[in-house]
Amino acid sequence: MRTILTRIAASAFCLAAALPASAQGVDVLKQPAFAAIAERFSPAEGLELAAHINVVMRQYERAIPMYEVLVKASPNRADLWAALAMAYNRADEPREARDAANIAITLAPHYPHFYLERGIAAFTLGQHADSITDLTHYLKAFPLNASAHFYLGLAQAATGDPQAGRASLLRARRLNPALAVSTDYYLGLLAAGRGQMGLSRELLARTQQAFEGSGLPIGKLAGEQLQSVDDNVARRIRAAVHESDARIAHVPGSPAAR
């Protein structure tokens, strides 16, 4: 079984790289390159190969029904349930992801990597304490997974522990610089919460610039948060000036005394 799975995974990555860019959004099963490789496998193994290729190509909506067929045929394979959970998470279906991950963990509770997808799903569902438990368990075995640290940081911040959240987000960014834009946004929010408006503005402005013109929601969110920071700073300045005027109102010649 391990040899077959290794061959399937290796073939999936090779095929995903070999398929033309126009294959994005096209049924992998109909690709000539896939047919040439799939004939080496059984029908079930070929379907698993196709599902893996779709995941590598980020076509999660196509991968999900394939994994659903596979788990129905082999319900005791925890790895397939975990793969289904991952696809559900990437397709923004956290409830289904949690349910699939629960089955994977029930079948093989000693495999810590199955806890990652359940932890991510729990965070998305607002179950932050459960998310922290699962992601911490996973990271004890796989401490270099940047995505796990990223979601752990978000969950920690959501449960009222911004210091731990900041440390986890910074660790995620160090492990995977590609996460810098996403982490900067949340680090900017945490900095604002600590009253570090200058740092917050710098991080949020960097995020807004990175997503400028992309049409993605995070670009708009960064802009809104940036405006909120500027408004907060302006309010603080006005309050400080008012307090200063009140303190010097009795001083002869001061503007406030006129």
pLDDT in tens, the chain (258 residues): 544 554 555 455 555 555 554 445 667 777 766 677 777 778 888 888 889 888 888 899 999 999 999 999 999 999 999 999 999 999 999 999 999 999 999 999 999 989 999 999 999 999 999 999 999 999 999 999 999 999 999 999 999 999 999 999 999 999 999 888 888 888 888 888 877 777 777 777 776 666 665 554 445 554 555 465 455 444 444 444 444 444 444 545 545 455
Q: Domain residues for 57?
A: 1-74
Of 74, 108, 138, the position where a domain reaches its end is 74
- Residue 158 falls within a domain, yes or no? no
The pLDDT value given to residue 57: 83
Of 74, 100, 119, the position where a domain reaches its end is 74
The pLDDT value given to residue 248: 44
- Residue 60 falls within a domain, yes or no? yes
The pLDDT value given to residue 216: 44
The pLDDT value given to residue 118: 97
- Residue 124 falls within a domain, yes or no? no
**Tokens describing residue 163:** 């210091």
- Residue 249 falls within a domain, yes or no? yes
CB 138 within 8 A of CB 115: yes
- Residue 110 falls within a domain, yes or no? no
- Residue 145 falls within a domain, yes or no? no
- Residue 10 falls within a domain, yes or no? yes
Find the length of the chain: 258
Q: How many domains does the chain have?
A: 2
Of 46, 74, 102, the position where a domain reaches its end is 74
